[in-house]
Amino acid sequence: MIRTSLRLAILFLLLVLPRGAGAVEGDRQVFQAAVEKARLVIHGATDIEAMRPLLEDFQALRPDVTLDYVDYLTNDLFREATEACAAGKSVADLLLSSSVDQLVRLANDGCAVAHRTTERVPDWANWREEVYGFTFEPAVMVYDERRVPPEDVPRSHNDLAELLRQKSETYRGRVGTYDIRVSGIGYLLAFNDSRVAPTSYGRLLESLGRAETVTRCCNNEVLNELRGGTIAIAYNVLGSYAYAAHLRDPHLRIVLPRDYTLILSRGALIPATSREKALAGAFLDYLLSERGQKKARDASFYFSANGPLPRGVDGPASLVDTGIGRPIRIGPALLAAQDQAQHRRFTGEWSAVMRGKNPDITPR
């Protein structure tokens, strides 16, 4: 009862309080148009600060549009979107999420509308014109050069597993990664690791468990542990967040694994219950456009399929040409990751391995 009353009070305040340009309301930010002719509500599992340059640039093109952006954890975004679809309720005009498997699940369940864009999109980043990928983000390792000597720097998944075996006491409790039980993107990356290289991933996961790895809900919490000195190495962090952290603290160094590097494309979906489908489509077109892609590369997500690696990143000259980059294809294969029985089994076995009890975590 208290929680319900609190939610009603917050909702009332959101409705009645004046909204100045860029007014922050918790995990919500409203980019108010000078003279509002339309409002686009975007729910995103992407930090507001990462999206800010893109939102502001789009508003420069459409100054009469107010952008209402709410930041979510991936699982919370998926849960709300699923409930809204089932109830036929409009809560957002556009969804953005790094957990593209969850967006594919929504589209497969009839919760999306198709949008035909004229922008160029790779085949692996477009499913049925309902889910589009608009970023190119490698899953990377990050280390603090003040705490990891050069000879210990891992440059592959096998290197990290071997380091934790050989120097278990040195790095016990000093490595961090996602908690896949609460993080949709963490689960997606772990599931794809287990498919791309099941043997080496099983070995690495066992090493992570023995090393008493610190697990957190999201990218920034893992990186905060790294910046604060609690851990020395972060595993499977999205490159965009890692590079933003590197710009703030150059002692945090980024490595693209040389054996393979998973590539995520953050997804966008227009819900079937969207009230502003055309406007949502216009914003999606902007994200996919040359202008939007350049803004994303320069100010928010830093990596691209065609451009060089950002300055200071340790990795191959090209993830695409070398074959090291392994894009997570947006499509029906991702439904396997969202199968409820598979999800329960995988997270259960992951939990057991991280407690040092069960080394077998290959998908069936």
pLDDT category of residue 356 using cuts at 50, 70 and 90: low
Instruction: Write the DSSP symbol of residue 139.
Output: E
Whole-angstrom distance, CA of residue 259 vs CA of residue 158 = 8
Instruction: Name 287's Cβ contacts closer than 8 Å, sequence gap at least 6.
Output: 54, 132, 134, 268, 293, 296
**Residue 272 and residue 229 in one domain:** no
**Residue 58 and residue 159 in one domain:** no
pLDDT-wise least confident of 10-14, 200-204, 251-255, 288-292: 10-14
- The residue range of the domain holding 149 is 137-263+312-354
Whole-angstrom distance, CA of residue 257 vs CA of residue 280 = 36
First-to-final CA distance of the chain: 43
Mean per-residue pLDDT for 33-59?
95
Domain count, the chain: 2
Domain membership of residue 302 (yes or no) is no
Residue 16 pLDDT: 33
307: pLDDT strictly greater than 80: no
**Residue 222 and residue 321 in one domain:** yes
- Do 252 and 314 contact (CB within 8 A), yes or no? no
Residue 26 pLDDT: 42
Whole-angstrom distance, CA of residue 334 vs CA of residue 24 = 35
**Residue 175 and residue 220 in one domain:** yes
* 2 C-beta neighbours (distance < 10 Å), count: 6
Instruction: Name 90's Cβ contacts closer than 8 Å, sequence gap at least 6.
Output: 84, 271, 273, 274, 275
Helix (H) or strand (E) holding 215: strand 214-216
**Residue 271 and residue 337 in one domain:** no
Mean per-residue pLDDT for 57-64?
97
CATH of the domain at 16: 3.40.190.10
Instruction: Write the DSSP symbol of residue 152.
Output: G
Domain membership of residue 330 (yes or no) is yes
**Phi, psi angle pair for 148, to nearest 5°:** -120, 110
Domain membership of residue 300 (yes or no) is no
Domain membership of residue 295 (yes or no) is no
Instruction: Name 341's Cβ contacts closer than 8 Å, sequence gap at least 6.
Output: none
**Residue 196 and residue 316 in one domain:** yes
pLDDT category of residue 180 using cuts at 50, 70 and 90: very high
Task: Count Cβ neighbours within 10 Å for each residue of 184-204 and write b for 16 or more, e otherwise.
Answer: bbbbbbbbbbbbbbeebbbbb
pLDDT-wise least confident of 20-24, 41-45, 77-81, 146-150: 20-24
Measuring CA to CA, how many Å separate 334 from each of 131, 319, 331? 12, 22, 6
22: pLDDT strictly greater than 50: no
Tell me the average pLDDT of the chain.
89
Give the 3-state secondary structure of residue 80: helix
Domain membership of residue 219 (yes or no) is yes
**Residue 255 and residue 277 in one domain:** no
Instruction: For Cα atoms 363, 222, 319, give the angle at the middle one, nearest 5 degrees.
Output: 60
**Residue 90 and residue 65 in one domain:** yes
- Do 74 and 180 contact (CB within 8 A), yes or no? no
89: pLDDT strictly greater than 90: yes
Mean per-residue pLDDT for 278-286?
98
**Residue 201 and residue 271 in one domain:** no
Of 158, 203, 138, 205, the closest CA to residue 177 belongs to 205
Instruction: Write the DSSP symbol of residue 63.
Output: T
Whole-angstrom distance, CA of residue 315 vs CA of residue 155 = 8
Domain membership of residue 122 (yes or no) is yes
- 19-33, 265-279, 317-331 — which one is most confidently predicted on average? 265-279
Mean per-residue pLDDT for 168-193?
93
Mean per-residue pLDDT for 197-211?
93
25: pLDDT strictly greater than 80: no
